[in-house]
Amino acid sequence: MSVTLPDAEKVYTDLLARLKPAVTGETVMVGIQTGGAWVAERLHRDLGIAAPLGTLNISFYRDDYSSSGLHSNVRPSQIPFDVNGKRMLLVDDVLYTGRTVRGAMNELFDYGRPDTIDLVVLVDRGERQLPICAQFVGATVTVPKGAKLDLRRDDSGRLSLHLEEK
């Protein structure tokens, strides 16, 4: 099956336009490492969100931690604001099974209880294993079952999508 992936920069621009009307002075943002943090860095800047950007490393919150272990290139989570009562945008790069988002929400609730959490994803590839959906999606992409869809960032910060078929 040949898959044509969308241009990640165009998808980002579309996502940014969808998000602009939803952001208020009370909005806070958290990106899931690694790709979600890359997207969140740009969205945070381009949307002019006043609160500092938070990042999550959900390694210890994954339900497959015992089989996959801790990756060597992860950084600790940083939530530089009180999450209690906040309207939060949780950002990830690719929404797939929903397990990463579940782990991220588990960790966020260790920091407190936000008023709302809206999920923002650059790409939704479907094939959910948990009842998780994004409120803001840049693009929906159908890829072969079992293939890996990755977001990459070059040295200039440009985003691109890549597919690894098994």
For 10-46, the pLDDT digits (tens) are: 999 999 999 999 999 999 999 999 999 999 999 999 9
Measure Cα distances from 139 to 45, 92, 95, 146, 164 in Å. 21, 13, 11, 19, 18
pLDDT band at 114; cut points 50, 70, 90: very high
User: Is 4 part of a structural domain of the chain?
Assistant: no
Quote the pLDDT of residue 71.
Answer: 52
163: phi then psi, degrees, rounded to nearest 5: -115, 130
Q: Tokens at residue 149, please?
A: 């869809």
User: Is 28 part of a structural domain of the chain?
Assistant: yes
In the chain, the number of structural domains is 1
User: Is 165 part of a structural domain of the chain?
Assistant: no
User: Is 129 part of a structural domain of the chain?
Assistant: yes
User: Is 157 part of a structural domain of the chain?
Assistant: no
Which range of residues forms the domain containing residue 47? Answer: 9-64+76-144
User: Is 25 part of a structural domain of the chain?
Assistant: yes
Residue pair 56/108 in contact (Cβ under 8 Å)? The answer is yes
CATH of the domain at 117: 3.40.50.2020
SS3 60: helix
Q: Tokens at residue 66, please?
A: 């015992």
Residue 45's closest CA among 77, 14, 23, 18?
A: 23
User: Is 70 part of a structural domain of the chain?
Assistant: no
pLDDT band at 163; cut points 50, 70, 90: very high
Residue 74 has pLDDT above 70, yes or no: no
Range 135-159 average pLDDT: 95
Q: Which amino acid belongs to residue 37?
A: A
Residue 68 has pLDDT above 60, yes or no: no
User: Is 161 part of a structural domain of the chain?
Assistant: no
Quote the pLDDT of residue 65.
Answer: 47
